[in-house]
Structure 1
Amino acid sequence: MRPEALALLAAACWAVAALFSAPASQRLGAFTFSRWRMLFASLILWTIALATGGWRTLDASAFGLLAVSGVIGIFIGDTALFACMNRLGPRRSGVLFATHALFSAVMAWLFLGETLWGWALVGSGLLVGGVMLAIVWGRRGDEHHGWEQTQGRLAVGVMLGLLAALCQSVATLMLKPLMTTGIDAVAGSAMRMSMALLAHGLLFATGWAGARSLAPLRWKDAALIFGSAAVAMALGMTLILQAMKHGQAGLVAVLSSVTPILILPVLWLVYRRRPAVGAWLGALLAVAGTALILGV
């Protein structure tokens, strides 16, 4: 399968997982939610890596890079994303996180020598512009759902969303050279997840109040977190690493940024009301941009 298609599938996984993530994250808190999610994802990924023999592709020389990537992208980035979602809701946190496409394109050019030209560049511009349009102007004027309310200071939520996007870009791009060596994507994801979980465990062990749960874990919460871990982390992140093996890092990042577009039908189900006109226009631009990219 083409790496561009893998990136789109990863974006779809993240969009679907948002349905499981938001309620449990808001109830338990970003740190507790992320900690449990990483535990479930680690168990799933290591089970697959051991069953398929993918763990044999892991080399001791790659452990350091995988560990740093896991701490930056998953421990810091994922936790910041859900802290942002708890403050601003899935729609507005989505547009902030979508900026990782821009961060990735610039850093891929600076550090990996990758460039986007011709129809790929035009398509990337349409796609990113469509995502921004769909989210910024995607809210109906009379929408008062709880996910649209700001909890705490808006500036803090914005900074958390941008931090999550930057961490996602840095953590993914730093693995591009490693993934071309033939390392198994599932095993690589398992190692990254385990290192992020270890960092969360150490933070929890310090006794810091912010790492404590806001509420007791219920069976319903555990089921939602497991679903989020399986779809977004075990499957979605593995698809991204697989796409990195053969695709341009910047292009993969751009295509994976369509999550906010794909989440619109999910939010439609929650709100029980169709998205605003801006959301439809943004979605059309994103689809046009994707078509141009896949056509190159």
Structure 2
Amino acid sequence: MFAESLIGESAALATAICWTITALAFESAGKKVGSLPVNVIRLFFAFFILGIFSYFNKGLFYASDASLDAWIWLSISGIIGFVIGDLLLFQAFVIIGARVSMLIMALTPPIAAFFGWLILNEQMTAINFIGMAITIIGIAIVILAKGSDNGKIKMKYPINGVLLAFGGAVGQGLGLVFSKLGMKDYDPFLSTQIRILAGIIGFSILFFILGKWGNLFAAFRNKKAMTGITIGSFFGPFLGVSLSLLAIQHTTTGIASTIMAIVPVLIIIPSVFIFKERISFKEISGAIIAFSGVVLFFVF
């Protein structure tokens, strides 16, 4: 029991590190070629990386041994998490940056717990709601500020970027619940591949509707953007998402989500050095308070 719990917790911590790297990589790429091309290309890359890995690991290039039930629920999870959630999140990266976006994404664990209560009949207590409130307070400390002209509280960052990041958190939280429904004891890497395939199909339909294929081909010619997409694809849809599924497979959704929620704290230092962001003590405090709320939500 201890060894199994340790596997889940270690995988969750590794996931947080991967998501920190991928958020910074995709922010850089998205600002160069746009969020839509980044989403599609990284899923294509991740699909084949997962296929090659699974072929050498299990002798299967794709999830041919998965049950119909797994395909249905994991595909739904892929549409919600990758197409809807990540589409909103990646656009938030472009507007308000990865650091603030990932801070707002700290709401993902409470949102996942809420949907777990709604769909899986998991329990929520008064302390859970207190933890959620503390997380919201931490986020508010970062995104709200007093106006210089009238002293009224105003949004420090563009409201559309904040709403997009919140939508990404909802998509990720709900997608995680459907992942648990579909995966059960199935291989987490092949489970991720099913989710990614659903995401590719969803984005392909979206590209046909919007007529954005020209943007996609232009992105392939941008070497700096492709470098960021390649790095982000490895650490995000391939390694990060697969490790997150491994984590919830070997420990509770709450413990895994709590450890994964440390990203807003981990991302502060690289944001300073890579994007030269000027981060105040108040913003650091807000990130730590938000993370503390997630810890309170699940630990007590």
Residue 29 of structure 1: how far off its partner (Å): 1.0
| 1:130-149 to 2 correspondences below 5 Å | 132=139, 135-136=142-143
Asked if 1:261 is matched to 2:270, the reply is no
Residue 105 of structure 1: how far off its partner (Å): 1.9
Match of 1:185 in 2: 188
- Measure the CA separation in 2 of the matches of 1:287 and 1:165: 15
- Measure the CA separation in 1 of the matches of 2:297 and 2:77: 27
Match of 2:17 in 1: 12
| Structure 1 residues 114 and 60, CA gap change in structure 2 (3 angstroms) | closer
Match of 2:53 among 48, 51, 75: 48
TM-score, structure 1 normalization? 0.80
| Contact 1:108/1:249 (8 A) holds in 2 | no
Match of 1:36 among 37, 41, 53: 41
SS in 2 for 1:213: helix
Deviations 1:272-294 (A, max 9, x none): 47742124434655777788899
- Measure the CA separation in 2 of the matches of 1:124 and 1:116: 11
| Structure 1 residues 76 and 126, CA gap change in structure 2 (3 angstroms) | closer
Match of 2:215 in 1: 213
TM-score, structure 2 normalization? 0.79
Q: CA RMSD in A?
A: 3.3
Deviations 1:174-231 (A, max 9, x none): 1213332x2000001011111111221222234x245652854322222210100000
Residue 157 of structure 1: how far off its partner (Å): 2.2
| Structure 1 residues 75 and 271, CA gap change in structure 2 (3 angstroms) | closer
Asked if 1:250 is matched to 2:258, the reply is no
- Measure the CA separation in 2 of the matches of 1:254 and 1:159: 22
- Measure the CA separation in 2 of the matches of 1:281 and 1:95: 12
| Contact 2:15/2:260 (8 A) holds in 1 | yes
Match of 1:68 in 2: 76
- Measure the CA separation in 2 of the matches of 1:112 and 1:62: 16
| Structure 1 residues 213 and 137, CA gap change in structure 2 (3 angstroms) | same
Residue 109 of structure 1: how far off its partner (Å): 2.5
Match of 2:153 in 1: none
Structure 2 alignment gaps of length 5 or more: 1-5, 149-155
- Measure the CA separation in 2 of the matches of 1:156 and 1:294: 30
| Structure 1 residues 125 and 294, CA gap change in structure 2 (3 angstroms) | closer
- Measure the CA separation in 2 of the matches of 1:172 and 1:69: 7
Asked if 1:97 is matched to 2:102, the reply is no
| Structure 1 residues 244 and 61, CA gap change in structure 2 (3 angstroms) | same
- Measure the CA separation in 1 of the matches of 2:110 and 2:299: 21
| Deviates further, 18-27 or 224-233 | 18-27
Residue 37 of structure 1: how far off its partner (Å): 0.7
Residue 48 of structure 1: how far off its partner (Å): 1.1
Aligned partner letter, 1:213: N
| Contact 2:132/2:294 (8 A) holds in 1 | no
Q: Give the structure, 1 or 2, with the largest relative contact order (CA under 8 Å, sep 6 or more).
A: 1
- Measure the CA separation in 2 of the matches of 1:42 and 1:127: 37
Aligned partner letter, 2:51: W
| Structure 1 residues 293 and 88, CA gap change in structure 2 (3 angstroms) | closer
| Contact 1:258/1:286 (8 A) holds in 2 | no
| Contact 1:65/1:175 (8 A) holds in 2 | yes
Match of 2:179 among 170, 175, 180: 175
- Matched residues, percent identical? 23
| Contact 1:134/1:279 (8 A) holds in 2 | yes
Deviations 1:95-145 (A, max 9, x none): 322221221122222332334679x9699669846963784489xx9xxxx
- Measure the CA separation in 1 of the matches of 2:187 and 2:83: 21
- Measure the CA separation in 2 of the matches of 1:69 and 1:252: 18
Task: Name the count of aligned residue pairs.
Answer: 281
Asked if 1:113 is matched to 2:121, the reply is yes
| Contact 1:30/1:79 (8 A) holds in 2 | yes
Aligned partner letter, 2:182: L
| Structure 1 residues 295 and 117, CA gap change in structure 2 (3 angstroms) | same
| Contact 2:138/2:285 (8 A) holds in 1 | no
SS in 2 for 1:114: coil
- Measure the CA separation in 1 of the matches of 2:245 and 2:187: 9
- Measure the CA separation in 1 of the matches of 2:291 and 2:164: 28
